[in-house]
Amino acid sequence: MTAVVVIALGTGVSFGIGYLSGSSAGAGGARAGHSSAGPTTGAFPRTGSTSGFPPATPTPTALPPVADLQPTTLPLSRAPAAALSTAARWTAAWVRPPDGTPAQQWLEGLRSTTTEEYLGVLSAVDPSNIPATRVTGEPRAVQVSPRSVQVQVPTDALTLVVLVINGDTGWRVAGYDRV
């Protein structure tokens, strides 16, 4: 008798849980008025989960708008004399050295006015290929920012725009371009 009560109770609990979780199969198959092959009848559609909770859906995250970065520029008259002087000294050391000057010696002549990072770039330059042989005019600031200045320096072959930055070691050249 006890075994029959336990089996009946187990079947009843199983049927009740199946009914509450939206399962169409219980003690005897489909619930009244619902086919086991048709749409689900629980609160949430079936997705293979038996937890009774809706499936987790990723929620897109909207990022806040970011303002365009605008570098701070200063009037050209605010160019530090030390930055202009550094650009002039660097360009005078940069121009093509006399024939037979080793590249390492040319590079050493640039060391005191060049950032360590940019010396690495310049180490790949063959100074005999530099078209300019001398500086022909005064340095002129073309863009001034709080910690950097772009300076035009004319030579006998071209005009350079030298980027001078104010770092931990003072004003140093960090790049150049030809105009």
* Domain residue ranges of the chain, discontinuous segments joined by +: 1-33, 76-178
DSSP H/E element including 162: strand 159-167
Cα-Cα-Cα-Cα torsion 130, 133, 136, 137, nearest 10 degrees, comes to 50
- pLDDT of 147: 96
- Please give the Cα distance from 151 to 83 (Å, whole number): 8
- pTM comes to 0.62
Mean pLDDT across 3-24: 54
**Residue 6 scores a pLDDT above 90:** no
Task: Please state the separation of Cα 96 from the chain's center in Å.
Answer: 38
DSSP assignment, residue 72? -
| Residues above pLDDT 90, as percent of the chain | 60
- Please give the Cα distance from 115 to 167 (Å, whole number): 9
Name the least confident of 20-24, 31-35, 75-79, 150-154: 31-35
Between the alpha carbon of residue 137 and those of residues 38, 123, 152, the distances in Å are 89, 26, 10
Q: What is the pLDDT of residues 73-108, one digit of tens each?
A: 999 999 999 999 999 999 999 999 999 999 999 999
**Residue 35 scores a pLDDT above 70:** no
Neighbours of 171 (CB within 10 A): 23
Neighbours of 134 (CB within 10 A): 11
In terms of Cα–Cα distance, which of 115, 116, 125 is closest to 94?
125
CATH class (in words) of the domain with range 76-178: alpha beta
Name the least confident of 20-29, 72-81, 134-143: 20-29
- pLDDT of 17: 59
**Residue 25 scores a pLDDT above 50:** no
SS3 (DSSP) at 150:
strand
DSSP string, 136-149: -S--EEEEEETTEE
Is residue 171 a contact partner of residue 80, using CB atoms and an 8 Å limit? yes
Is residue 178 a contact partner of residue 106, using CB atoms and an 8 Å limit? no
DSSP assignment, residue 89? H
